[in-house]
Structure 1
């Protein structure tokens, strides 16, 4: 993913709401969200490296990853970061947290951020940050920096998610109202230049990468993904895929009880 927005224990009916965009080159082969037989997880699949960017296990725990943008530090052809998500989905969070220390992962993977958890806990780890920590209740955002770095898209996304979940949203619904969440992820507003983050790429690329939803012929938002947990433990998962022009290709919805 390149944008992860999380409402953790902020809504009485839906204690976990995750809204995320995956930005990637359109030429990279990808399979839409589906149930994998081995391991038993629900996720999309990167057909080039075999991993995934976000998913949920049949037992109910989930994980999602963003790359850490550092163009001055060339990629070294290490293990696919998508494998980290698969590892997280095959291991209960309480066990996984023992093995995930940034120092041990720094030499095996290029820069990454990993969020993972279950209905009781939420964890964050990055091999470009301090050791793994438990994330407190609140509205959280993650792009290609560190958790809750004040990038324009992160600030805007957190504000829009909080506004979306306010009022009567989802209070009496048996299934979550997904369209308002998909709508907020489709926000293609580009901030003014003075608000852009300097991550070491050209100004043209900073402008291209700055919106929550990215459109361009070669690189952009490939899909939006929603993950929600209701107060009774049922999980709702939805994925909407887009073409290079930002038009909807299809939407897939899943619901299950771990």
Structure 2
């Protein structure tokens, strides 16, 4: 993902509301979001090049999402695929904080990343460009290709629009969330961050929804978990072909999943 905005215990009827865009080369092969054949409790898209993923959930209410940290001067072509950080958490049962402690021990084996993981009780953030495991408090957050809540224009705009989608609403309207993700307005050039790339490319990447001939927003994904434990996963795919799908289920205890294996 290259834009994730989320509300954690910031609405009386929802534990978690996530709106996220995945930006990637159109030619990189990936499967649409679905329950995985080899791990039937995992719901996510899948990168068919490295077999990891960028965002997903499980029937037990585990959640994980990843963005790359933009740092073109320190990219290691031989680094481990960052998508493994999401898939390994979703496919396992390790406590989120303990999992991040294990990730931290070999975090420099990966190129720069931001990782958000949690379960039905907690939510955590970790970046190997910061090095601190952070247990998140209730609030509205935004993440792109810098550290959590770095005030890039599209992050600030998306957080404000997410807040607007929540305020005064008993139930979350998916259209409101998809609209904030579909915003193609670019930031003024004098407000662009300096991440070490060409200014024109920085400008292209400054909108929540990115469109260019070979690279851009391929999917927009929503995840909501209400206070009764009902999870909804809705996704719109734009590239390389259009698709829309929604999954909804009640979260079950991990031990019930283990019994069925």
User: Per the shorter chain, which TM-score range?
Assistant: over 0.9
Corresponding residue SS for 2:108: coil
Equivalence for 1:255:
248
Measure the CA separation in 2 of the matches of 1:199 and 1:154. Answer: 15
How far off its partner does 1:107 sit? Answer: 2.7
5+ residue gaps, structure 1: 171-175
Corresponding residue SS for 1:162: helix
**Per-residue Cα deviation, 1:112-143 (whole angstroms, up to 9, x for no partner):** 11001122211001111132110111000000
Measure the CA separation in 1 of the matches of 2:147 and 2:92. Answer: 24
Which of residues 221, 235, 240 in structure 1 aligns to 2:236?
240
Corresponding residue SS for 2:169: coil
The alignment covers a number of residue pairs equal to 249
Measure the CA separation in 1 of the matches of 2:169 and 2:108. Answer: 47
The 3 A distance-change label for structure 1 pair 7 and 103 is: closer
The 3 A distance-change label for structure 1 pair 189 and 44 is: same
Q: Which is helix-richer, 1 or 2?
A: 2
**Per-residue Cα deviation, 1:25-66 (whole angstroms, up to 9, x for no partner):** 001111110010222200001111101000001211110000
Measure the CA separation in 1 of the matches of 2:213 and 2:106. Answer: 34
How far off its partner does 1:82 sit? Answer: 0.5
Equivalence for 1:199:
195
How far off its partner does 1:11 sit? Answer: 0.9
Equivalence for 1:14:
14
Contact 2:185–2:208 (CA under 8 A) maintained in structure 1:
yes
Equivalence for 1:29:
29
Contact 1:105–1:127 (CA under 8 A) maintained in structure 2:
no
The 3 A distance-change label for structure 1 pair 72 and 81 is: same
5+ residue gaps, structure 2: 252-261
Equivalence for 2:216:
220
Structure 1-normalised TM-score?
0.92
Measure the CA separation in 2 of the matches of 1:19 and 1:189. Answer: 17
How far off its partner does 1:90 sit? Answer: 2.4
How far off its partner does 1:103 sit? Answer: 4.8
How far off its partner does 1:251 sit? Answer: 1.0
Contact 1:223–1:239 (CA under 8 A) maintained in structure 2:
yes
Please say if 1:210 is aligned against 2:206: yes
Contact 2:89–2:99 (CA under 8 A) maintained in structure 1:
no
Contact 1:66–1:144 (CA under 8 A) maintained in structure 2:
yes
RMSD over equivalenced CA pairs, Å: 1.5
Equivalence for 1:152:
153
Equivalence for 1:131:
132
Map 1:19-58 to 2 at 5 A.
Answer: 19-39=19-39, 40-58=41-59
Contact 1:169–1:177 (CA under 8 A) maintained in structure 2:
no
Measure the CA separation in 2 of the matches of 1:45 and 1:37. Answer: 12
